[in-house]
Amino acid sequence: MSSENDSFKEKSIKQIQLDYFMRTLLEEKGWYWYERNGINANEGDLILFQMDNTIIASAIYDIKIKNRPVFVVKTDTIKIFEPITNDELSAIITDLEKFDRIKRAYDISNVNMELLYKRMNLAVK
């Protein structure tokens, strides 16, 4: 996600979390339209959404819509939480690469999910 996107300009992370993830993405039935590169993910992978070098939301990947710049997440798995920094996330996901604009999915069986979910449960919603 880019703060340069017109939908997110001049909005705080909390506003984006509430407006986009807890309203728009739910109204769109989990359809996430992306501007640039897609994502290489499998059903059930954990998607971590980043903004301004922090993770601000997560959801479980459902499906890719062929020939369209969209993928679908399971709406009942969308979580928002206090932003997680790169250093904090690196302590949980040991093979984490530096934040960038590349979309990555993590197989939930390959990370310390107990710690990550505990951290994500500090929800702002």
User: Domain boundaries in the chain?
Assistant: 13-120
- Given this model, what pLDDT does residue 124 score? 44
In single-letter form, the type of residue at position 122 comes to: L
The radius of gyration of the chain from alpha carbons, rounded to an integer in Å, stands at 14
Residue with tokens 């922090």: 54
Q: What's this model's pTM, rounded to 2 decimal places? A: 0.76
Question: Which of 39, 8, 56, 43 is closest to 101 using CA atoms?
Answer: 39
Cα-based distances in Å from 118 to 37, 68, 121: 30, 34, 5
| 64-100 pLDDT per residue, tens | 888 888 899 999 999 999 998 888 887 777 766 666 5
- pLDDT beneath 50: ranges in the chain: 1, 123-125
